[in-house]
Amino acid sequence: MTITGELRGSRPRRTPPRLRITSLEVLCVLLVVALVFQDWLVAALDVPVLRTASTVFVAVCVQAMPFLVLGVLISGAIAAFVPASALRRLLPKKTALAVPVAGVAGVALPGCECASVPVARRLMQQGVAPAVALSFLLAAPAVNPIVLVSTAVAFRDAPMMVPARFVGSLLTAVVMGWLWTRFGKSEWIAERALRRLPDDDGRSRWAVFAETARHDLVEAGGFLVLGGVFAAAFNVLVPAAWMETLGAQLVLGILVMALLAVVLALCSEADAFVAVSMSALPLLPRLVFLVVGPAVDVKLIALQAGAFGRSFAARFAPMTFVVAILSALGAGAVFL
Amino acid sequence: MRRETQNILLVLLGGALLKLALTGTYLRYVKESLQPWLVATGAIMILLAVVAIVKDLSDGRREEAQAGSHAEAHAESHAASHAESHAQARPEGHVAAPAAVHHDGHEHSSRSPWMLLLPVLAVFLISPPALGADTVNRSDRNAAQQSKAGSGFAPLPDDRVIPLTITEFVTRTAWDDSGSLNDRTVKLTGFVVRKEQNVYLARLTISCCAADAAPVKALMVGQDFSALPTDQWVEATGRVVPGSATKDTAYVPTFTVGEVTPIVPPEDTYEG
């Protein structure tokens, strides 16, 4: 840096300053263009399908942002106030044992899946084994008390749905954690997600907290919005009528409900109410819907690709999808 | 993307959430109970951005002062170039640790924050309307569920005209064996939906946000509704056709309308 500085310095180049187009200028231009073409934009979107899609898009973003903010605040607090050594003391030494512990610890994070991604990534950076952090990531959105209570309220007529969902989701998280312990390679995870934080770099803890939270929010927020775009698109493109005719075809019903959980990207606190309204289907496909949804959906895949890299998401998401279906079937066989 | 741009986007997004929450527009997208969370979320976003901006400014000032003291010892052009190299190095130089994570991100690899502009533009410029007839027609199911009947039906008041939600109207017609609605005049509020030749009075119910909206509807008969445009909000009084909500009709009851008046849409267009 200094060298280039000196070299450049040898040339007298004070004026004129080179015009650099940075993101700041691009943003200003974009905003002005959007304002100028506002009427045109509104008119272009005034088609029923696009109107519905844009409403769903804003709804997904607005609904998820509070949870994402909760997640980045927790993530910032872990970075600033919980030293890596404390986490290591808290968790069992053997990864195989720490995985179920992390899964059960998911009970303590009441939020939907958007909150758990930044937290899991922060845990990895603080030296928690990836398998353990991933198992927390999968468990937290599905087994926390808020989700279980809303499931109980929705399925008043089938109370066994609650333990079935709890066990199915926890099983998914623990099995994925163990699979990652056995087969996972750390090079699949983007290097930035694993970079260790120095324990103390002289800055005040509050500064670390604010900066970490801000940075996580900007990064993950972008991916959350991307997920919202997909969810809105699928919401209008997938004909809801088509799955309502599936009726009694059990195998097809299970597959379609699993795929639907992925593309609809519903909040884990709301999906039970959607599942209960699909009364044409037997309980088992609906359980699959509830177990798959919080573990893998388009919003979550976008967030994971952002936090851990694309090559991670490309392996983790399909695997989770399969494991979640099998776990749900297992839990369903026991409880339903 | 530069930190400055990220901070501006955060302020805009936080502002968009505050605008939704404080003007009541948020009811088009989410449930009423989310309002305090939206206010807090918007405020936190703006706060985080402001903290970062203030910090950058004070860091910048300190570096300028350092560059300035440098200039006294060196030639003028030299100092200027130093200041420039400092300025360029700044994103790398002054942020350590977690912020260092965002280096991989700066300017080139991280384009994801640009996506934050989409909801900002959608909220400030487009302000999408509440869901309506288009969503109702995307689904054949009628969301009023049998499970809701499990808790039993409270007796209806003795008023001449009973205001009911469409959800309750559908549930009672389909699952209340006592026929509590027969020969009673009820008043329903909803919007007009057309499918094929039929005209329906419909509402959407949401349990978390508009993405999980599910329709409830009743088939309107008894007069000519062609003057009413689709998506027009109306209050309709009339009587149910007993036993009209069965499996064959997908639990959509038939509603014989006596009187129908157009109204302005309620602030919260969703039921339940």
Q: Which pLDDT tens digit goes with each residue over B46-75?
A: 999 999 999 889 888 888 888 766 655 554
**Cα distance between residue A236 and residue B212, in whole Å:** 12
ipTM score: 0.83
- Which of B78, B99, B145 is nearest residue A276 as measured by Cβ atoms? B145
Q: What is the pTM of this model?
A: 0.80
Residue appearing with tokens 């009628």: B142
Bond from prior residue into B157 cis (ω within 30 degrees of 0)? no
Cβ-based contacts of B45 with chain A (< 8 Å):
69, 217
The least confident of A65-69, A155-159, B52-56 is A155-159
Q: Which pLDDT tens digit goes with each residue over A275-325?
A: 877 777 788 999 999 999 999 989 899 999 988 988 999 999 999 999 999
Q: Which pLDDT tens digit goes with each residue over A246-273?
A: 655 788 889 888 988 898 888 787 788 7
Q: Is residue A260 part of a domain?
A: yes
Give the residue among A86, A141, A134, A81 at the shortest CA–CA distance from A108.
A141
Decide if pLDDT at A19 tops 70.
Answer: no
CB pair distance less than 8 Å for B112 and A155: no
What's the token pair of residue A91? 């968790």
Q: Is residue A14 part of a domain?
A: no
Q: Is the dihedral of CA A140, A145, A151, A154 positive or negative?
A: negative
- Which of B84, B101, B209 is nearest residue A267 as measured by Cβ atoms? B209
- Is the CB of residue B126 less than 8 Å from the CB of residue A52? no
The whole-number pLDDT of residue B96 equals: 37
A79 vs A297: which has the higher pLDDT: A297
| A249 interfaces chain B, CB cutoff of 8 Å | no
**What is the count of residue pairs from A and B with beta carbons less than 8 Å apart?**
254
Query: What is the average pLDDT score of chain B?
Result: 81
CB pair distance less than 8 Å for B5 and A157: no
Q: Is residue A27 part of a domain?
A: no
**Chain A, 80-119: which have a CB under 8 Å from a chain B CB?**
none
Number of neighbours of residue A238 by Cβ within 10 angstroms: 16
Q: Which pLDDT tens digit goes with each residue over B75-132?
A: 444 444 444 444 444 443 333 334 333 333 333 347 788 999 999 999 999 899 999 9
Report, as an integer, the average pLDDT of A157-166: 91
| Ordered domains of chain B (ranges, CATH) | 3-128 (no CATH), 134-271 (2.40.50.140)
- The residues, any chain, with a CB within 8 Å of residue B136's CB and separated by 6 or more, are B193, B200, B202, B204, B215, B217
Q: Is residue A232 part of a domain?
A: yes
- Which of B98, B118, B207 is nearest residue A270 as measured by Cβ atoms? B207
Q: Which pLDDT tens digit goes with each residue over B155-185?
A: 788 888 889 999 888 888 887 777 788 888 9
**Cα distance between residue A182 and residue B163, in whole Å:** 62
Q: Is residue A191 part of a domain?
A: yes
- What φ, ψ does residue A248 adopt, rounded to 5°? -90, 0
* Count of domains observed in chain A: 1
Q: Is residue A79 part of a domain?
A: yes
Q: Which pLDDT tens digit goes with each residue over A183-209?
A: 988 888 887 777 766 555 667 888 888
Owning domain of residue A61: 49-335
Q: Is residue A70 part of a domain?
A: yes
Strand partners, B261: B235
Q: Is the dihedral of CA B112, B117, B120, B121 positive or negative?
A: negative
Cβ-based contacts of A207 with chain B (< 8 Å):
55
- Is the CB of residue B260 less than 8 Å from the CB of residue B222? no
**Cα distance between residue B165 and residue B261, in whole Å:** 16
Report, as an integer, the average pLDDT of B193-197: 89
CB pair distance less than 8 Å for B89 and A1: yes
Q: Is residue A36 part of a domain?
A: no
Task: Specify the DSSP class assigned to residue B209.
Answer: B
3-state secondary structure of A228: helix
